[in-house]
Amino acid sequence: MIRPRRGGAGVLAREISPDVYCLGPWGRVQTDVYFVCSGSSWVLIDAGWAKDGPRIERAAESLFGAGARPAAILLTHCHPDHAGAALQLARAWDCAVWMHPAELPFATGDFAGMRAYAGPLDRTVVLPLMRAMGSRRREAMLARSSLGEVARTFEPGAEVPGLPGWECIPTPGHTPGHVSYFRPRDRVLISGDALMTLKVNTVSGLLLQQPGLSGPPWYTTWSQRAARASIGTLARLEPTVLAGGHGTPMTDPGTAARLRAFAGLAGPV
C-alpha cells in the first residue's frame, strides 16, 4: 500500500478525493494533471506542456518522496498541453506512456494520420504551415516531439494499466481516441478535455478564466457531434467529483445534477 504525504508544508498537489491528487490549475489555460494511487502503485494522468516536466516531477516527489516512480503515465489524449512533458517524464521515471490506439498518430508524429483527425485550427492553420515547411523539416520537427519508444496503447475495455479499480471510458470528439478515467466505487471522474471546468468556448471565459462546465474548445476539436455525445456519456455516470484537464475540479454535492443539466438530460433518476 502506498502512503503519500497528505497535505502539509511542501506538498504541491491537493487531494481532491481519496487517493486522487490534483496538481493545478496553472497558467493561461488553467492546466491540471492528476496523481492517482491504487494498491501499491501510482500513476500520472496527463503530463502538461513540454515545459511542465520539472513542475510535475517536483510535485510527485513532494507526495511520494525522492526517487519514487509511477507504474505508468496515462493520457486522456495526445495534444501538446496534455502529452507535452510525457516523453521527458517517461525517460526520467523509466515507465511507458499509455493511450487509446487512435491517439497513436499524434504520439508518433504520423503526418497522414494527423491530417485524417484534424480539428478546425489544424485544418486552417497548423497543417498548411506544416505542409509549407517541406517534408524534410516537417519530419525532423515531428520526430523531435514524437513519444516514439515510450508510447503504448491499450483497449478501453481492458484493465487500465497501473490503475486497478478504475475504468477507461471512451470519450471521442475532441480527438478520435480521447478517453476519460472513472472510479465506479465513488464515481470520481477524470475527464481530460471531453469535459472541463473552465469556460473555453467563449472569448470572455477564456480571457477571464471563468469557471464553469464546458465541452472541448471547438477550434481544436475533431468532431463536435462525437464530443456532444461524449458529454452525455459522462453525465450518465453521475460523477461526484469532476476533474477535467483545465480549470478547478468540481467536488461539491451538486456536481452530478449540474452536469446532467449541462448535457441536456432530464433530472436525476
* Interface residues toward Zn ion, by CB under 5 A: 81, 193, 245
Contacts of 79 (CB under 8 A, 6+ apart): 106, 174, 175, 193, 220
**Which CB atom, from 194 or from 256, has the smaller least distance to Zn ion?**
194
**CA of 73: how far to CAs of 41, 121, 171, in Å?**
12, 27, 19
Nearer to Zn ion, 33 or 71 (CB): 33
Shortest Å, Cβ 81 to Zn ion:
4
Least distance (Å) between residue 79 CB and Zn ion: 6
Q: Which is nearer to Zn ion, 4 or 48 (CB)?
A: 48
- Smallest gap from Cβ 47 to Zn ion, in A, equals 11
Residue 47 grid cell: 503530463
- For residue 257, the one-letter residue type is A
> What are the CA-CA distances from residue 31 to residues 52, 73, 76, 83, 221 (Å)?
10, 17, 13, 12, 17
Q: Shortest approach of Zn ion to residue 218 CB, angstroms?
A: 13
Match 499509455 to its residue by C-alpha cell: 98
Identity of the residue, 90 or 196, whose beta carbon is nearer to Zn ion in the bound complex:
196
Q: How far is the CB of 90 from Zn ion (least distance, A)?
A: 19
Q: Which helix (H) or strand (E) holds 122?
A: none
Q: CB-based contacts of 15: which residues, under 8 Å, 6+ apart?
A: 6, 7, 21
Nearest distance in Å: CB 217, Zn ion: 8
Q: How many CB atoms lie within 10 A of CB 173?
A: 24
- For Zn ion, give the closer residue by CB, 161 or 245: 245
SS3 213: strand
Q: For residues 13 and 265, what is the distance between their CA atoms, to the nearest angstrom?
A: 33
**Residue 62 contacts residue 5 (beta carbons within 8 Å):** yes
Strands 188-192, 211-214: parallel, antiparallel or unpaired by DSSP? unpaired
Identify which of residues 48 and 239 has a Cβ nearer to Zn ion in the complex: 48
User: What whole-number distance in Å separates Cα of residue 182 and Cα of residue 129?
Assistant: 37
Give min distance, CB of 184 to Zn ion, in A.
Answer: 25
Q: Which is nearer to Zn ion, 70 or 192 (CB)?
A: 192
